[in-house]
């Protein structure tokens, strides 16, 4: 029977992996955003999706959301869930992903991360009849919800939202959405734009003036730096790292520290560490406080940034940074014969071929870091099938109030 455009009273059975409430109607699952397990709700249903109209009987785990935009902005899914069950939900995401691969290793309690600590935001901007809307997309929509606050972000980005809106008004195309990546570096905002209006000389001059007036550290569009008033830097365990315009950084400095706290114990008895997907040195620079590091990364700009940081850093063990596409050319077992420990932190898609190569090696310790429990579990399964033993699993709540979780898994062989 089709669940087409009808209003129903539903009992929510559980939370789905995207943070939606899940109910059953006519034998089919119905997903209700912003509903919690155990609640009775009224919802408008269309094609198996639902719009929450009313919470008839709320869960005792429901709390008031922290942001006025919650429910219209699609940036957060779980602000309405109390802290303890929220952290348990995040842990369960990891538990279930591992179980789906036949892995039943104990999973530690989720390391919490406080609001107001996310230093990196990816915003969208579109022109409207009233000017420019800058913010996040509404749930399951291309509509951009203009934000005036965001309790997830660091205060430096929140305070800059009016200035960022003016920047968007200068750079946004007539049609389509501008993409704006904002990183709160230690010495100012590092801003990267894509999908802008055509970059004419006049637009370039406007952007330069705005960057100077707003005192941003750097503004870049695609592969071009428009203006750098000072090189943006990020403190990584006492070393000043250089971010790449629009490049990857851990979203929260607190989460970055929490992740390394889970990595470090596995490296305690090693002198040399091989790091795969090293980026600009998020973990490399911390590891190098105690261990020599061979770092491999496919992005040329990230490798150059890490080399520069390593040359100018102090109190570091030797760092050898090499550019290598680990998806096309994973490090093979014969290249890992002398490796004492490997740390790898691939993108969300995971590193199936690299995990397969690691599985056939005799590296004593492997530490896998991932923002995707499903691909982590797949890669860990490959390692376990190759003779590794999964010893610890630590979730870290890097992505506050979202259905995403960061994980560190440690494996040993021999």
CA distance 388 to 406: 21
CA distance 324 to 326: 6
CA distance 134 to 126: 7
CA distance 23 to 41: 10
Q: Say if CB 191 and CB 216 are below 8 A apart.
A: yes
Helix axis angle for 373-385 and 352-359, nearest 10°, is 20
CA distance 45 to 234: 47
Q: Residues within the annotated binding site?
A: 250, 277, 297, 345
Phi/psi at 366 (nearest 5 deg)? -125, 130
Cα dihedral angle (236, 351, 272, 301), rounded to 10 degrees? -50
CA distance 303 to 327: 16
Element (H, E) at 86: helix 83-100
Q: Residues within the annotated binding site for S-adenosyl-L-methionine?
A: 250, 277, 297, 345
Q: How far is CA 17 from CA 83, 102, 204, 369, 408, in A?
A: 17, 18, 44, 20, 19
Element (H, E) at 259: helix 253-263
Q: Say if CB 249 and CB 154 are below 8 A apart.
A: no
Neighbours of 241 (CB within 10 A): 25
Nearest Cα residue to 166 out of 118, 116, 219, 120: 219
CA distance 192 to 185: 13
Would residue 73 show up in a list of annotated catalytic residues for this protein?
Answer: no
Question: 337: which 2 tokens?
Answer: 């014969």
CA distance 407 to 384: 17
Residue identified by tokens 């995040």 is: 90
Enumerate the active-site residues: 371
């Amino acid at each position: 029977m089709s669940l087409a455009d009808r209003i129903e009273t539903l009992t929510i059975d559980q939370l789905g992996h995207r943070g939606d409430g899940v109910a059953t109607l006519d034998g089919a699952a119905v997903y209700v955003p912003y509903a919690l397990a155990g609640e009775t709700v009224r919802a408008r249903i269309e094609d198996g999706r639902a719009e929450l109209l009313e919470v008839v009987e709320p869960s005792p785990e429901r709390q008031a959301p922290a942001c006025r935009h919650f429910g219209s902005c699609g940036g957060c899914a779980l602000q309405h869930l109390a802290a303890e069950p929220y952290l348990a939900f995040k842990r369960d995401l990891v538990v279930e992903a591992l179980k789906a691969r036949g892995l039943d290793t104990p999973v530690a309690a989720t390391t919490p991360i406080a609001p107001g600590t996310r230093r990196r935001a990816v915003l969208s901007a579109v022109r409207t009849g009233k000017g420019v809307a800058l913010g996040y997309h509404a749930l399951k929509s291309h509509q951009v919800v203009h934000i005036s606050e965001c309790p997830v972000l660091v205060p430096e980005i929140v305070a800059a939202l009016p200035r960022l809106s003016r920047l968007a008004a200068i750079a946004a195309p007539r049609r389509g959405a501008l993409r704006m990546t904002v990183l709160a570096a230690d010495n100012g905002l590092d801003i990267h734009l894509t999908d802008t209006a055509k970059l004419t000389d006049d637009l370039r001059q406007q952007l330069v003036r705005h960057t100077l007036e707003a005192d941003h550290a750097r503004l870049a569009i695609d592969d071009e730096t428009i203006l750098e008033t000072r090189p943006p830097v990020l403190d990584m365990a006492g070393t000043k790292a250089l971010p790449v315009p629009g490049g990857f950084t851990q979203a929260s400095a607190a989460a970055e520290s929490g992740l390394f706290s889970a990595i470090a114990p596995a490296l305690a008895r090693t002198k040399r560490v091989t790091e795969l997907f090293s980026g600009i040195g998020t973990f490399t620079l911390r590891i190098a406080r105690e261990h020599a590091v061979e770092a491999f990364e496919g992005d040329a700009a990230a490798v150059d940034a890490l080399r520069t940081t390593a040359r100018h850093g102090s109190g570091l063990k030797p760092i050898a940074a090499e550019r290598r596409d680990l998806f096309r050319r994973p490090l093979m077992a014969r290249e890992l014969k002398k490796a004492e420990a490997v740390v790898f932190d691939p993108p969300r898609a995971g590193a199936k071929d690299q995990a397969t190569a690691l599985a056939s090696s005799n590296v004593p310790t492997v530490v896998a870091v991932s923002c995707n429990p499903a691909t982590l579990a797949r890669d860990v399964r490959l390692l376990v099938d190759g003779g590794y033993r999964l010893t610890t699993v630590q979730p870290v709540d890097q992505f506050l109030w979202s259905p995403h979780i960061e994980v560190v898994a440690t494996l040993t062989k021999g």
